[in-house]
Structure 1
Amino acid sequence: MDITIRQEKEADYQAVEEVIKRAFSDVEISDKTEHHLVKRLRGSEAFIPELSLVAVHEATGELVGQILFTKAKVGDTETLALAPITVLPEFQNRGIGGNLVNKGLELAKELGYASAFVLGHPGYYQKFGFKKASLWGIKAPWVVPDEAFMALELHGKSLDGVSGTVQYADAF
């Protein structure tokens, strides 16, 4: 199956929100409002259009996945927050999510961002180099399992000397 990953366009917004609704409809820990979060983030100063990506099925043109990185801070240090990442259930376990993460991280590096944070499944995100944020003395703004809140240095040792609580966009 051929999938193209590209920057989200305004014309994609409704389709992306439908993908998010469908992907989270059976997720037990979801409050089923992730699509509203994406809408709020798009309207915020934290939104980075170049890091809002979609996965498109080439044969049908159907949007099958999305990923969003937004601006965040740890103290005075600008960083990125990865959330959400979504792949339609019928397209999961085919590498689409991994391709979205890899492409997003590659673009983030090219744009000069030095680090990224994610709250998610450690076994999944560790494949991309994410490690427990607590290794740097960095905490989530919510009570979450230590191993589920992770950081990735995109350039060298960009988190050396950085500590504190990650400040996500108000939209979160």
Structure 2
Amino acid sequence: MLIRTEAPVDILPVDRLLKSAFPTEAEAKLVMALRENGNRTLSLVACSDEGEVIGHIFFSPVTVAGEDNGWQGLAPLSVAPEHQGKGIGQALMAEAKETLAELGYPAVVVLGDPTYYHKAGFASAAEHGLTCQWEVPADAFMVQELLPDTLCKLQGQVEYTSEFAAL
């Protein structure tokens, strides 16, 4: 498996992957809108040995308490159904977190399954004084610090870009 930055040739395969990995086309439409509006910070793909796109992870900017401090939102993360359970999502997250930290992005938030994301080092955002703009179970909204001493500096509501309103 190879993990690399998404290239223009990957747009359609990623779109097909998103449509196969989720019950609706909402995530595929979200990624397309984020790309079109310039709200893509990082997009990585996982490819099989044959070059097929089998996993994808996408990051876009979020604000905390109305301020842009370089924080990122992970959404979505997808793995082709026939390749799930093989560690591809965890590998994508590890590579992405390393890349984002190298680029100077201080923290990542995610809304998802706590059991899954805790394995990747995410912790409850509420424990750090952070809330999600939507009403969600407290344990489903998580954060991970990428640069030291980031989480002690900010508290408040985390807001995603306007493209998420369509979900």
Query: TM (normalized to structure 1)?
Result: 0.90
CA contact (8 A) 1:41 1:47 kept: yes
Task: Specify which of 11, 35, 41 is matched with residue 28 of structure 2.
Answer: 35
Paired residues for 1:49-128 under 5 Å: 51-58=42-49, 60-75=50-65, 76=67, 77-128=69-120
Pairwise CA distance, 1:46: 2.4
Q: Which runs of 5+ in 1 are unaligned?
A: 26-30
- Of 20, 23, 33 in structure 1, the residue corresponding to residue 21 of structure 2 is 23
Matched, 1:46 2:39: yes
Aligned-residue offset at 1:37 = 0.3
Amino acid at match of 2:163: A
**Is the partner of 2:161 in helix, strand or coil?**
coil
- Verify the 8 A CA contact 1:46 1:72 in the aligned structure 2: no
> What is the aligned-residue identity percentage?
40
Cα distance in 1 for partners of 2:152, 2:51 equals 43
The yes-or-no answer on 1:147 pairing with 2:139 is yes
Report the RMSD for the aligned CA atoms in angstroms: 1.1
SS in 2 for 1:171: helix
SS at match of 1:156: coil
- Equivalent pairs counted in the alignment come to 162
Name the amino acid aligned to 1:36. Answer: K
**Which segments of structure 1 move beyond 6 Å, counting only runs of 4 or more?**
none
Which shifted more, 139-148 or 153-162? 153-162
- Using structure 2 for the length normalisation, give the TM-score: 0.93
Unaligned runs of 5+ in 2: none
SS of the counterpart of 1:161? coil
Q: Distance in 2 between matches of 1:45 and 1:16?
A: 17
Q: CA–CA distance in 2 between the matches of 1:17 and 1:53? A: 13
1:159 corresponds to which residue? 151
